[in-house]
Amino acid sequence: MLSDCPGCNVQIRFPHDASIIRCPECGETFSIKGLHANPRGWRIALFGTLLTFNYYFTFPFIYSDILAFVFLSLVGTSVTLGGLMMSVNDKRRVGNGFYLLEAALAVVVAGHAYVIMSMGSIS
């Protein structure tokens, strides 16, 4: 795995099971676990997902206004995709190549947006 040293930004290669790294360049020690725990991208993505599927909980109130929920869904889709891209970028920076969950959620919301848009073109 690869990570940037927070002290001098030199790229360091380290074993998979390491949890504390000492930078050979500047001697800075830092925790890999701390670097991995950066959920801001996922927080944005989950908020976007909530918006995307907003009609599951707003349906009883705005069922008459289909444009409103189509609009919210499309806004939610772009927020979700933006958050997922941020999460992938953060993971790439700490050398974590596991993007399966991000890819899965991106497929779900993109497929959903496609259904919503084709519904809109029918009516």
How far apart CA 45 and CA 105 sit, in angstroms, is 9
24 scored as a contact of Zn ion (CB under 5 A): no
Q: Which two tokens stand for residue 59?
A: 């349906």
Q: How many chain residues touch Zn ion (CB under 5 A)?
A: 7
Contact yes or no for 49/80 (Cβ under 8 A): yes
Q: Which two tokens stand for residue 41?
A: 């991208």
Smallest gap from Cβ 13 to Zn ion, in A, equals 13
20 scored as a contact of Zn ion (CB under 5 A): no
Q: Which residues between 73 and 92 bind Zn ion (CB under 5 A)?
A: none
* Rounded-to-5 percentages of helix, strand, coil across the chain: 65, 10, 30
115 scored as a contact of Zn ion (CB under 5 A): no
26 scored as a contact of Zn ion (CB under 5 A): yes
Among residues 5, 45, 86, 116, which is the contact residue for Zn ion, using CB under 5 A? 5
The footprint of Zn ion (CB under 5 A) covers: 5, 7-8, 23, 25-26, 28
